[in-house]
Amino acid sequence: MAEIRLQQLAHSYQRQPRDAGDYAIRAMDHVWEQGGAYALLGPSGCGKSTLLNIISGLLEPSEGQVLFDGRPVNDLSPEQRNIAQVFQFPVVYDTMTVFDNLAFPLRNQGLPEERVGRKVREIAEVLDLEPLLQRKARNLTADEKQKVSMGRGLVRDDVSAILFDEPLTVIDPHLKWKLRRKLKQIHEQFNLTMVYVTHDQLEASTFADKIAVMYAGQIVQFGTPRELFERPRHTFVGFFIGSPGMNLAEVRTDGDAVRLGDIRVALPGPIAARLPALAGSRLQLGIRPEFVHLRSEPGADAWPVEVLHAEDLGTYKILAFRLEGAIFKARLPEEQPVPEGRAYVTFPAPWTLLYADDHLVEADA
Amino acid sequence: MNKVPNNHAWWLVLPVFALVAFSAILPMMTVVNYSVQDIFDPSTRFFVGADWYRQVLQDPRLHDSLLRQFVFSACVLAIEIPLGIAVALCMPTRGRWASLCLIVLAIPLLIPWNVVGTIWQIFGRADIGLLGWTLNAAGVSYNYASNTLDAWVTVLVMDVWHWTSLVALLCYSGLRAIPDVYYQAARIDRASNWAVFRYIQLPKLKSVLLIAVMLRFMDSFMIYTEPFVLTGGGPGNATTFLSQTLTKMAVGQFDLGPAAAFSLIYFLIILLVSWLFYTAMTHNDQTR
C-alpha cells in the first residue's frame, strides 16, 4: 500500500527524442494517493499503458522519477516494488490448474501452503471461480482466463498498488458490470490503491473516485467524474467525456466579449478581464449539449438557429442545429417536442466556457 | 448450414488420389509384392506368404541392429532435444548477434550427409585428424576404427553436431513467438527463471518440440550415410544400424524378398513410434 508520486516523468521509445512528438509520455507530475480508486482514461495510443508499465517497473522512464511513499523506485524491479498488474489480454499458465495459477504469486513469495489455500479460495469466491479451481487453465474460455488473470493480481493483499490495463476488454458485457462491482468491493475491503486504465468513460466513472484523462502523453485533467463533466479543463476532455461531447466553436475577441459569427457573446467580468492577454491564441467557446437551452418561441437574448435533424435515443433526444455556420448539438428531454426548421437557443452563462489554445480560461490565473 | 450429399464431389478428390498413388502407394505396393513372393526372374516366381516376414523377424543380425538403432535414436533424442532448447534459450533475441547465431547454426544443416561423414572421418583420425591427434597427444587413447566406444561416441557427436541446430532453430522460433506480456506477468508474479522456463517457455514450445522430436526420431532411425562413410558399420558390427543391414541384404546379397519384408516392418516401426510420440505429447490437450 503506497502513495505513488510521479515527478517530472517523461518517456520516449526513441533513444534520442528530438521534439515533443517523439515522447509517449510528456513531462508530468502526478500523485496517486494511497487507497484511492483511480481511472486513467484516454483514447488508444495516448500513453496510458506506457504510464502503467512505468509505474509497475516493467518499463524504465527516460526522464523523471517514480516515488512510492516518497521513496524513489526507479531502479527497483516489479518484484521489489511489490506491484500487481492485470493485462488487457488474459495471461494464464497453461499447464497449471486454476488453483495453482491463483496460488502462483503467493507460492513465489514463500507463503505457507495453508495460507495460500485460504487466500486462493477467498479470491476464487469473489470472482466466482470456485467450480473451476481444479480445471486446467488452458481449457478455460477467454473471460474465465481473464478472471484468473485478475485473480492473480488480487490474491496478494500486501501489494503497493494494483494496476489494471483495460482488463475487461475480452469480457462479456453483462459480466463486465458485475466484475467492476467486484473490483470496487475488493477496493473497499482491502484499502488498496488501484489504477484502472480504460478508454471507456462509463467504465472509468463507475469504477473510480477520480479520473485522470490522458491525451497525447499528458494528463490533461484529474478530477471527479462530475468535475470532468461540468468543467472540462481541456477541449479534449470536453469532447471525450459525455455523449455526445461538448460543442466547441471558434470565436474571436470583441472588446470585453467574444464574437461567434455575428453574435456577440458576453463573458463574465473575470474572464473578460483576461481576454487582452489571450490575443493571438486560438479561442473556442464550449458548451455541453445538456446545458443548451432550446425553445420554439423567440425570447429575450435567444438566438435564432436552423434545426437540422434530431435523433431519438429513447430516453432523450439529440438535436443538431446550425448557428452562425457552426453545427451544435443539444440534448432535449424525451417529452420536449422537436421544433421544426427554426428554434431559439440560449447558452446559460455558468456553462459557457472559453478555451484558449485548447485550455480552459479560468478566472483566477 | 445445409449439407447437400453429392457423390460427384469424389471426382474432385481424384487428382490427389492419383498423385498419392503414384508417389507413395504404387512404389510401396511393389515392395509388398516382393515381400510375399520369391522372384527369380520375370517369369519365375513363387508365392511364399509370410515366410520372409517370419525369417527376418527371427534373424539375430536384424535383432542386433534394431536394438542398436533404438539405443542410437534414444541417445540422439536425449542429447539433442535438451541441448537444442538450451542453445535456443542462450541465443540473443535481436540485433546483429542474433543474425550471426542463426547463420552459424544453419551451416551444419546445409552440409550433405556424406560430406559430414567425411569431415568427421578425417577430423577423428589419429594420424592426420585434428581431433584424433589432439586427443592422443593429450594422452587419451582414441581410435574410432578399432574401439567400439570411440566409434559410438564419434557417430553420436557427429549427429549432435549435424542436427542439434535444427532443434535449436525450431525452439528459437518458438521462443520468439511467446508474447512479451507472459514474461511481464511472470515478473509481476515474481516467478523465478526456472518457473518462467517450466510454466511459460516449455508449455509454449510444446508444438515445435513435437515437430523436433518427430523429425529427429525419424531421421536418426533412418540414419545411413554418415556412419557408413565414417565407420562403415564397424568396428565389427558395432555401428551397423538398421538401414545399413537392410542395404547389405537388398543390394549386397540381393535377397529382395526378405529385404522387402524387412523394409515394411522398418516402416511400420517408424510409423508406430512416431504415433506413440505424437499421442503421448498431445494427450494432455484433450483432458480437462
From chain B, the residues in CB contact with A134 under 8 A are none
- Shared-domain flag, residues A119 and A46: yes
Grid coordinates of A107: 507460492
- One domain for residues A195 and A338: no
Closest approach of A214 to chain B, Cα-based (Å): 23
Residues of A in contact with B288 (CB under 8 A): 135-136, 139
Residue B286's pLDDT is: 56
CB–CB contact A105 B181 (8 Å): no
Task: Name the residue with cell 517530472.
Answer: A8
Q: A294 lies in a domain?
A: yes
User: Which of the residues B190, B209, B286 would you substitute to probe the A interface, choosing the one with the greatest number of A C-beta atoms within 10 Å?
Assistant: B190
Contact A292, A349 (CB under 8 A): no
Mean pLDDT for all residues in chain A: 86
pTM reported for the whole predicted model: 0.78
Owning domain of residue A248: 243-360
Residue identified by cell 508444438 is B207
Q: Mutate one of B180, B183, B184, B188 to test the A interface: name it (highest A CB count within 10 A).
A: B188
Nearest C-alpha of chain A: how many angstroms from B192? 8
Distance from the Cα of A50 to chain B's closest Cα (Å) equals 13
Return the CATH number at A44. 3.40.50.300
Q: What is the mean pLDDT of each run of 10 residues along chain B (288 residues)?
A: 79 91 87 85 81 86 89 94 94 88 92 90 87 88 85 91 94 92 89 90 90 92 88 82 86 84 90 90 66
3-state SS assignment for residue A322: strand
Does the residue A238 lie in any domain?
no
What is the tens place of the pLDDT at every residue in A341-362?
A: 888 988 888 888 889 888 888 8
**Dist CA B72 CA A162 (whole Å):** 53
Question: Which of A85, A105, A149 is closest, CB to CB, to B190?
Answer: A105
Q: CB-CB: which of A58, A89, A93 is closest to B187?
A: A58
* First-residue to last-residue Cα distance in chain A: 36
Residues of A in contact with B282 (CB under 8 A): none
Q: Are residues A136 and A108 in the same domain?
A: yes
* pLDDT for the residue numbered B170: 94
Considering CB atoms only, which of B187, B189, B285 is closest to A104?
A: B189
pLDDT band at A1 (very low <50, low <70, confident <90, very high): low
| Domains of chain B, residue spans | 62-286
What backbone phi and psi angles, to 5 degrees, belong to B129? Answer: -85, 140
Which string of DSSP letters, residue by residue, matches A32-61?
A: E-TT-EEEEE--TTSSHHHHHHHHHTSS--
Confidence check: pLDDT of A188 > 50: yes
Binary contact (B199, A95; C-beta < 8 A) = yes
> If pLDDT is split at 50, 70 and 90, which confidence band does A252 have?
confident
Closest CA to A299 of A256, A353, A346: A346
Chain segment A131-183, per-residue pLDDT in tens: 888 888 888 888 888 889 988 988 887 888 889 988 888 788 877 888 888 88
Q: What confidence score (pLDDT) does residue B288 get?
A: 46
The stretch A290-319 carries a mean pLDDT of 86
Which of A170, A201, A231 represents a domain boundary (last residue)?
A231
| CA neighbours closer than 13 Å in the CB half-sphere of residue B141 | 4
Inter-residue contact B187 to B201 (CB < 8 Å) = no
Number of separate domains in chain A: 2
As its CATH architecture, domain B62-286 has Orthogonal Bundle (1.10)
Is the Cβ pair A93, B200 closer than 8 Å?
yes
In a mutational test of the B interface, the residue from A55, A77, A87 whose CB has the highest number of chain B CBs within 10 Å is A87
In a domain, A50, yes or no: yes
Name the pLDDT band for A365 (thresholds 50, 70, 90): low
H/E segment holding residue A223: strand A218-223
**Residues of chain B that touch chain A, judged by Cβ-Cβ distance less than 8 Å:** 181-182, 184-185, 187-192, 195, 199-200, 203-204, 284-285, 287-288
pLDDT in tens, A74-99: 888 888 888 889 888 888 998 888 99
User: Average of pLDDT values for A12-30?
Assistant: 81
Question: Is the domain of A176 the same as that of A271?
Answer: no
Segment (H or E) for A233: none
Query: CB A78 to CB B187 under 8 A?
Result: yes
The verdict on A180 and A253 lying in the same domain is no
Contact yes or no for B91/B165 (Cβ under 8 A): no
Same domain membership, residue A178 and residue A302:
no
pLDDT higher at A238 or B40: A238
* Strand A210-215 with A37-41, pairing: parallel
In this structure, the answer to whether residues A265 and A220 fall within a common structural domain is no
Shortest CB distance from A79 goes to which of B187, B195, B200?
B187
Residues 6+ apart with CB under 8 A from A145: A90, A92, A137
The pLDDT value recorded for residue A45 is 80
Per-residue model confidence (pLDDT) at position A17: 77
pLDDT at B213: 92
